Amino acid sequence: MLKFFNRLSNNRSPWILLALTALGLELAALYFQYELKLDPCVLCVYERTAVMGILFSGLIAALAPGLMLLRMLAILIWAGSAGWGLQLALKHTGIQLFPSLSNTCDFAANYPDWAKLDEWIPWLFQPTGFCDEIQWRFFGYTMPQTMIGIYALYLLALLLVLLSQFAGKERSIFRD
């Protein structure tokens, strides 16, 4: 099974599929914000940032999927983004389900000076809502609870792809 995933990871289409799933989530976020008038909170826009990292990881690997170095860079970005996103979604869920004065989030985004996404791309990364407000449910699950499942699936797929990189023959770090 790992050899199958290894062969897949050496092709462009699975990486493009990874990027497209993340793009779909970004477009869904914009639909919720601008069509359904749901205001994104700080944690929402940070979760969007994590999804954007997954999108970029797919695009990076799709450039040259045969280069193990590039694949490993993409896997590293994918891991960091999905792990950070899961952590954010868990925190967000805790704030929504167990609101208290000690369990809150900021109102304004706090991006680093070298990546002021909320100022550069405000229509995507500017928070306007509150983290404890539940504005949407899907089969009884809130938005961050749904994102917990999505990030968990991304991490499961990542684990299979990562393990598959070490299946089979000896590899150079530059080319399989």
The residues carrying an active-site annotation are: 41, 44, 48, 105, 131
Give the residue ranges of DSSP H helices in the chain. 2-9, 12-34, 42-63, 68-97, 117-120, 122-125, 143-164
Tokens at 83, concatenated: 């792990």
Q: How far is CA 93 from each of CA 45, 55, 72, 111, 133, rounded to the nearest angstrom?
A: 14, 23, 31, 21, 10
